[in-house]
Amino acid sequence: MDFAKVIIKFLGLKDVVIEDVKQFEKDLRAEVTLRQNRFSCFCPTCGSELKGFHQWDLKELKAPPMGIYQVKIKFYQPRGDCAVCEGTRMCWVPWLHPRFKSMTCAFAEHAGRLMEEITCEAVGRILNCDAMLLWQLDQWRMELMLTRMRLPKDLDVSLLSADEVHFRTLKIENRKGLWAKRHKPEFITNLVCFEEGKVLFNAMGRGSKSLEDCLKVLSPGQKMAVEKFAVDMHDPFISVVKKELPNAEVCVDRFHVIQLGNDAFDKVRRHEFKKARASNNEFVHDMLMPHRRFILVAKEKDLSKAEGKMLEKLRTVNKEIHTAMLLVEQLHKAMDKTTVKSFRESLKTFYQVIRESKLKPFLAFAKTIRKYRPQIEAYIKSRLTTAVSEGLNNKIKTLKRMGYGYTNPISFRRKILQRCGYLNHLHINTDDFFFTVPKHV
């Protein structure tokens, strides 16, 4: 076996001759000295063969590791005469990266695939490379891969969802008025495939324009194939879905409805908490403390015996809290229904109790339920939720913490597609990147 040819192939090289190999066992690194083969030297401009070599330029390059050894290449690249261009030209080397000239294409792709899973700083420590250089490589690679990204042909888009995730909060410098907002939050909207658990595309903002930009990734046929679309109670998203996806039924899931119900209960709790503090009612005051608000809206099966007895006593001495707790329980029962008919019957009882209680927070909540009742009934029939979107949002937040925050929206959007979508080598074939880079780049 010709080990020189094996080393050349393992390093992703071609048309070179190995002159020397040094091994440093103490540092676990190797140094390979190479020289370009004279019979395979071509002009980078016209592609004709170079002749009459005048000079050999020495370059130190990073190469992918071989086993436990980090590899550095000392490469002699020749200059020759081009008869067509009528001048001296540097020999074209396909495996030498044209943008990041201190590394081979194989090293760049190896580092790029590592950065799909871990941070640039961590890859820099593993490969003994500058983290900022790797960040630039990662951005260049994602930009190139975006031109190749295509959704799978057999992708099931019958169930989709959309949700926004917080990107950053900017401080408003030129505020108008004493009570004007001091900060402006920025969001990124993600279009998610329920069956695959992947982000199909994303866009800045959380308005109708953002979701419209996300839906552009779908073909006309795929838009017609969407049957259910899960969103929160966000009117811009709902209007876009109705406009762009004619066959889709909008679903507002249980989580957001219960969340609004708990918010209404919390407003009642705070009102009664202030009344108890003013009247020096220590028991009610202690039971309605902010840290106990989650116990008050918890299901009975999730409470301990002591907590259950304390809540029964609270119900006895405070009518408003008792009524509010009954309303939360009734809301859970309504959302547990599996048919639209039973849901509507349960909702009638819910509305009746709210009217008799005259609790303002729940009266406002009832108006919201009436407004989005068709979308809630769609959830009752399909049980489609935004759970996948919420799970991906948690992964995206972890990604943001790993990077100690992002300030570049383009970089963050690409990273989301890379970690949570189809912008990676598992879905885009980049095997050719190990040996050369497309000439148009």
Beta strand spans in 215-313 (E): 228-231, 249-252
The SS3 assignment for 354 reads helix
Kindly state whether residue 406 falls inside one of the protein's structural domains.
Answer: yes
Q: Are residues 168 and 214 in the same domain?
A: yes
The CATH number that applies at residue 201 is 3.30.420.10
pLDDT recorded at residue 72: 94
Does residue 425 form part of some domain? no
Asked if residue 163 and residue 20 are part of one domain, the reply reads no
Residue 431 within a domain: no
- Calculate the alpha carbon distances from 161 to 152, 240, 284 in Å: 18, 12, 42
Domain count, the chain: 3
Q: Is there a single domain that holds both residue 267 and residue 187?
A: no
Domain that includes residue 24, residue range:
3-146
Q: What pTM value is reported for the model?
A: 0.88
Q: Are residues 72 and 167 in the same domain?
A: no
In whole angstroms, give the CA distance from residue 93 to residue 78. Answer: 10
Q: Which two tokens stand for residue 15?
A: 């048309």
Angle formed by the axes of helices 254-278 and 319-336, nearest 10°: 170
DSSP string, 11-67: TT--SEEEEEEEEETTTTEEEEEEEE-GGG-B-TTT-PBPEEEEEEEEEEEEEEEET
- Domain annotation covers residue 60: yes
Q: Do 192 and 243 share a structural domain?
A: yes
Residue 11 maps to a domain: yes
Candidates 122, 17, 24, 131; CA nearest to 72 is 24
Residue 211 lies in a domain: yes
Query: What whole-number distance in Å separates Cα of residue 11 and Cα of residue 28?
Result: 17
Q: Is the separation of the CB atoms in 251 and 382 below 8 Å?
A: yes
- Mind listing the pLDDT tens digit of every residue in the chain (441 residues)? 578 888 888 999 988 989 999 999 988 999 999 998 877 788 878 878 888 777 788 999 999 999 899 999 999 988 888 888 878 888 888 899 989 999 999 999 999 999 999 999 999 999 999 999 999 999 999 999 999 999 998 999 999 999 999 999 988 888 887 778 888 899 999 999 999 999 999 999 999 999 999 999 999 999 999 999 999 999 999 999 999 999 999 999 899 999 999 999 999 999 999 999 999 999 999 999 998 888 888 887 888 888 888 888 888 899 999 999 999 999 999 999 999 999 999 999 999 999 999 999 999 999 999 999 999 999 999 999 999 999 999 999 999 998 888 889 999 999 999 999 999 999 999 999 999 987 644
Which segments within 134-175 are labelled E, that is strand? 159-171
β pairing state of 69-82 and 87-90: antiparallel
Q: Under DSSP, is residue 68 helix (H, G, I), strand (E, B) or coil? A: coil
